Amino acid sequence: MAVNLSVPQAGNLHPVPGVRIGVAEAGIRKANRKDLTVVLIDEGASVAGVFTQNRFCAAPVQVCREHLLRGSIRAMVINTGNANAGTGQDGLARARATCTALAAQLELAPEQVLPFSTGVIMESLPVDRIEAGLPAAIADAKPDHWLRAAEGIMTTDTQPKAFSTQVSIDGALVCVTGISKGAGMIRPNMATMLGFMATDARVAQGLMQQLARELADGSFNRVTVDGDTSTNDSFVVIATNKAAHAEITSLDSAAAKALKAAMLEVARQLAQAIVRDGEGATKFITVRVEGGASTEECLKVAYAISHSPLVKTAFFASDPNLGRILAAVGYAGIADLDQTKIDLYLDDVHVAVNGGRNPAYREEDGQRVMKQSEITVRVVLGRGSVADTVWTCDFSHDYVTINADYRS
Amino acid sequence: MAVNLSVPQAGNLHPVPGVRIGVAEAGIRKANRKDLTVVLIDEGASVAGVFTQNRFCAAPVQVCREHLLRGSIRAMVINTGNANAGTGQDGLARARATCTALAAQLELAPEQVLPFSTGVIMESLPVDRIEAGLPAAIADAKPDHWLRAAEGIMTTDTQPKAFSTQVSIDGALVCVTGISKGAGMIRPNMATMLGFMATDARVAQGLMQQLARELADGSFNRVTVDGDTSTNDSFVVIATNKAAHAEITSLDSAAAKALKAAMLEVARQLAQAIVRDGEGATKFITVRVEGGASTEECLKVAYAISHSPLVKTAFFASDPNLGRILAAVGYAGIADLDQTKIDLYLDDVHVAVNGGRNPAYREEDGQRVMKQSEITVRVVLGRGSVADTVWTCDFSHDYVTINADYRS
């Protein structure tokens, strides 16, 4: 069902020196599923993460935040089948117990482990099964297991999501490889539900938090499926510092810009893959808002369009019922919006001019674009020169089916 | 498909002295449909309205606002099949032409007529058909035609919506009767798409605007189907001033309070009827948020729950996947929310305590409530003593079907 999303090939994913990945079947919620993933990181890596702004953030998110403050991260443990969210103090203790269990097997301190969980909310995390599964996951660990990890973190995803690239930094060829998961409860507000990216580039630890934030803002923080911000959104960036170039100590240097461009490309592909695999998605929609007075108002309009059930069902139906887009622009929350300055385009088709129907607009032109699997909605606000973009999908019967049956 | 919504009986709707209603088939979008309604108001009535906050408000909404400022309203003209929204300057001219046409037949000034349109957005209003249909609508006008009017303003509604009551004001028995329409694009932000209410009570014109606002805030401004604020929301309140009691000149008087209570009851039934008839609705959900520090934050939480596609599909499936409700509470936008203070109830079932699953909670208890057609979600924030309530419905396959096929 995913929209123009090809299955990654293991051979196209560059191993990142300093990172090994192992996957096991721990029977966390269902038997015979790869549901436990460990990521082992060599000593000396720079690590940072950004996490959900949901105030009901999951226990593992709280533990990740604590552990990242301590530094010296050496491993990650990721389970599916259970989100360990809405679980109170007991959930926090279970997230910590998971870290302690992995740390014991790797001879690390528990604070050197980051835990991640995804799955059903408000159920108790079966730490015993995770602990029992860890030896197999550790034994499985290899540098070229990125695809296995992408498979190991899937929930309602129909396809694994992994992208990789290489970039030359001061003459050294470095790798950037990442994976993500997610298909529903997607409106990341800082990062998305489980995105991991590693590079062997050398980046000072002090730059990592800002780098992670910038990458998330250009990728995961610009996608939405259903507007529901998850309790577990986590995006972690690792620089293993193995590459043969001088350490990057400023994000404004030429080397940093080259690295950031490569990393942003991977992050954006990972984020867009989540939308392409959005629950029930049949179309991939780019919502571009131009002529805004600020980024904030461009995003308000883009998200209002992207979250409107009426707009999304019209895309599903390939029905150019485009007044619904104008209505969403109108209620997006710009108090002094002047409707007589709004233009609307559907790909190359100029639908509305000065807030009214373009006299030259013909329904068959709108219909032609609406039938495509990839569509760009472009709104021009006529208020300034700022533009921004959000990626989303349509809203189909299958979304209802998937989410009505999710726990069965 | 409507949830526990009975068809109103004409005999139960009290005619309001000073108001006559006529309906006709004008063929505005489709033939053989009651699509044109006129409301004729005797001289001397007090009239006020509240309208959508959508910045893409429809042409008739703009004209209503202008005409209400002039006062002396004597008639309303309401068409379905075309919203006259997203139509620019031409749409404004057409809304004015409709008023001029009705005014000419009634020997009024155009400014004494309020126009209302509902239907498809961004298509040109066929004024000629409305003008041709007006004589039949005027000839049809009678005091006991409230049910006909409720039928005449329907679009995707499956049932007409009309409620009526009587209340004694200083010994005089006065009537309150109202109608509404709407099933989709429902998240009124000031009022809902076409709600009209009349009473023969005597209310000073100077009080009417505040009265209309208070009624809307306690009714139409507390319901949502899909979170889409319409371009055409309009709620008009008429006091014909025919009753035999002293004019109400303060909203704090005992007479005013008695009248307001009666009017609010009718307004709330009209608003809830829209949710009960929400597109594809199978359940009527009351979302009550208690223990808030302000009305604003209670409503943020209530609307986050009410708009979450994940929560709404879980209700459709009768699946007590209640972590989704906690997730919505968490992303509602209260920056300093402490998840360890949150309690969640489903009717009488205590689901979550201090932000975690209640140890005494049993899934079968949640399941029992979820299977009902009427469910109350109660969230206790533990931040203060303010409470508020929003009414909504679930999200089903039929919502997708209805909105994917709306224009066909």
Per-residue tokens: B300: 């943020």
For chain B, the distance separating the N- and C-terminal CA atoms, rounded to the nearest angstrom, is 20
C-alpha A102/C-alpha B135 separation (Å) is 82
ipTM of the complex: 0.78
Contacts of B6 (CB under 8 A, 6+ apart): none
Per-residue tokens: A50: 């950004």
Residue B50 is predicted with a pLDDT of: 87
Per-residue tokens: A201: 């580039």
Residue A1 is predicted with a pLDDT of: 62
> Edge to edge, what strands does the sheet with A284-292 contain?
A356-357, A349-353, A343-346, A374-380, A284-292, A386-393
Q: Please say if B87 is a catalytic residue.
A: no
Identity of the residue numbered B149: A
C-alpha A280/C-alpha A184 separation (Å) is 9
Residue A71 is predicted with a pLDDT of: 83
**CA quadruple A37, A84, B287, A223: dihedral positive or negative?**
negative
- DSSP string for residues in A120-157: BSSS---HHHHHHHHHHHHHT-BTT-HHHHHHHT-SS-
Residue B299 is predicted with a pLDDT of: 92
Q: Would you say the CATH fold of A284-404 matches that of A10-275?
A: no
The CA distance from B371 to the nearest CA of chain A, in Å, is: 13
B155 belongs to an annotated ligand binding site: yes
Contacts of B364 (CB under 8 A, 6+ apart): none
For residue B174, give Cα distances in angstroms to B15, B206, B265: 10, 20, 14
Other CB atoms closer than 10 Å to residue B91's CB: what's the count?
Answer: 27
DSSP assigned state of A116: E
- Residue B32, SS3 per DSSP: coil
**CA quadruple B324, B325, B326, B328: dihedral positive or negative?**
positive
The parts of chain B modelled with pLDDT lower than 70 are 1, 188-193, 406-408
* Assigned fold of A10-275: L-amino peptidase D-ALA esterase/amidase (3.60.70)
Residue B191 is predicted with a pLDDT of: 47
Q: Which residue is closest to A316 within chain B, CA to CA?
A: B404
Strands B343-346 and B36-41: unpaired
Chain A residues near residue B356 by CB distance under 8 angstroms: 86-91, 122
Q: Which of residues 239-278 of B touch A (CB under 8 A)?
A: none
Q: Which of A37, A80, A192, A286 is catalytic?
A: A192
Residue A57 is predicted with a pLDDT of: 84
Q: Which of residues 297-356 of B touch A (CB under 8 A)?
A: 307-310, 313-314, 316-317, 319, 321-324, 326-331, 334-335, 337-340, 342, 352, 354-356
**Cα R_g (chain A), whole angstroms:** 22
CB neighbour burial string for A68-106, b if at least 16 within 10 angstroms, e if fewer: beeeebbbbbbbbbbbbbbbbeebbebbbbbbebbbeeb
Q: Which of B37, B80, B87, B192 is catalytic?
A: B192
Beta strand residue intervals within B245-334, DSSP E = 284-292
Residue A406 is predicted with a pLDDT of: 66
Total length of chain B: 408
Backbone angles phi, psi at B3, to 5 degrees: -90, 110
Chain B residues near residue A193 by CB distance under 8 angstroms: none
Tell which CATH classification among 3.60.70.12, 3.40.50.2300, 3.30.70.1430, 3.40.50.620 matches the domain B10-276. 3.60.70.12
Strands B36-41 and B75-79: antiparallel
Q: Which residues of A are annotated as a binding site?
A: 155, 181, 192, 279, 403, 408
Strands B113-117 and B75-79: parallel
Each residue of B70-102: pLDDT tens digit?
Answer: 989 999 999 999 999 888 899 999 999 999 999
Other CB atoms closer than 10 Å to residue B113's CB: what's the count?
Answer: 26
Helix or strand (DSSP H, E) at B140: none
Q: Within 13 Å and on the Cβ side, how many CA atoms surround B318?
A: 11
Residue B225 is predicted with a pLDDT of: 79
Chain A residues near residue B183 by CB distance under 8 angstroms: none
Task: Decide if B356 and A120 are in contact by the 8 Å CB cutoff.
Answer: no
- Residue pair B183/B277 in contact (Cβ under 8 Å)? The answer is yes
- Residue pair B88/B58 in contact (Cβ under 8 Å)? The answer is no
Among B29, B53, B55, B311, most A C-beta atoms within 10 A, so best to mutate, is B55
Judged on CB neighbours under 10 Å (0-12, 13-18, 19+), B364 is exposed
The parts of chain A modelled with pLDDT lower than 50 are 191
Q: Within 13 Å and on the Cβ side, how many CA atoms surround A81?
A: 22
* Assigned fold of B284-404: Ubiquitin-like (UB roll) (3.10.20)
> Tokens 């998305």 sit at which residue?
A192
Please name the member of B124, B321, B328 whose beta carbon is closest to the beta carbon of A228: B328
Identity of the residue numbered B351: V
C-alpha B145/C-alpha B92 separation (Å) is 29
Beta strand residue intervals within B244-312, DSSP E = 284-292
Judged on CB neighbours under 10 Å (0-12, 13-18, 19+), B66 is middle
Other CB atoms closer than 10 Å to residue B263's CB: what's the count?
Answer: 27
Per-residue tokens: B35: 């699509």
The CA distance from B263 to the nearest CA of chain A, in Å, is: 28
Task: Decide if B86 and A355 are in contact by the 8 Å CB cutoff.
Answer: yes
Residue A275 is predicted with a pLDDT of: 87
Judged on CB neighbours under 10 Å (0-12, 13-18, 19+), B250 is exposed
For residue B218, give Cα distances in angstroms to A139, B163, B357, B361: 62, 16, 33, 33
Per-residue tokens: B108: 């009024």
- Residue B9, SS3 per DSSP: coil
Other CB atoms closer than 10 Å to residue B15's CB: what's the count?
Answer: 18
Query: What residue ranges do the domains of chain A occupy?
Result: 10-275, 284-404
Residue A407 is predicted with a pLDDT of: 63
Residue B220 is predicted with a pLDDT of: 81
